[in-house]
Amino acid sequence: MQSPTIPFRLGSPRRHAQLSQFNARPEIHWFGFRGAFEDPGTAIITLTKLDAGLQGGGGTAAINGGVIAAGFDAAFVLAGLGHYDSEVVVTLELSVKFLSLALVSDLLAFRAHVVRSARNFAFAEGFLSQAGAGAPHLATATAMVAPASPR
């Protein structure tokens, strides 16, 4: 059961700047991820490419579990960026449950949202499913994220 989504704290112009910075990161490009925000408080990560090195799944044409964990990590960081006016949000804890193979032939999307937040950290949950509405979850995850302190 999905917990209620907390609406983004940052206004649309600041979220747009956060999203542009996020999508320009080298690790986001390397994995082939692309981030987006959906009101009231959902972060979405889609896969723009699926190189052979991202596949695994016990000899099937499925996405490797480590890549799925990285996709959730990216989605949780992006959800945090919609709440904190910080250039960097870090994942403090991540737990993934794999429910079914995520086949490379499917259009997939990671969706994450904050369910409880404070000034210095937030709890979030997310799921991976085919991009269409109402598709069953292939994996679920929970996380704790926090804005990074400036050095």
> Band of the pLDDT at 24, cuts 50, 70, 90?
very high
CA dihedral 95, 101, 104, 105 (to 10 degrees): -140
> Band of the pLDDT at 144, cuts 50, 70, 90?
very high
> Is the pLDDT at 145 greater than 90, yes or no?
yes
What pLDDT is stored for residue 109 in this prediction? 94
Is residue 2 one of the residues assigned to a domain? Answer: no
What pLDDT is stored for residue 78 in this prediction? 98
Is residue 3 one of the residues assigned to a domain? Answer: no
Q: CA 33 to CA 24: how far, in whole Å?
A: 10
What pLDDT is stored for residue 59 in this prediction? 62
Q: CA 11 to CA 39: how far, in whole Å?
A: 11
Q: CA 6 to CA 53: how far, in whole Å?
A: 36
> Is the pLDDT at 54 greater than 80, yes or no?
no
Beta strands at 55-56 and 42-47: parallel, antiparallel or unpaired: unpaired
Is residue 55 one of the residues assigned to a domain? Answer: yes
**Amino acid at residue number 87:** E
Is residue 34 one of the residues assigned to a domain? Answer: yes
What pLDDT is stored for residue 58 in this prediction? 59
What pLDDT is stored for residue 133 in this prediction? 66
Average pLDDT for the chain: 91
Nearest to 30 by CA among 67, 80, 69: 67
Report the pLDDT averaged over residues 59-70.
87
pLDDT tens digits along 67-110: 999 999 999 999 999 999 999 999 999 999 999 988 887 789 99
The CATH number for 57's domain is 3.10.129.10
Residue range(s) defining the domain that contains residue 97: 12-147
What pLDDT is stored for residue 151 in this prediction? 61
What is the tally of structural domains in the chain? 1
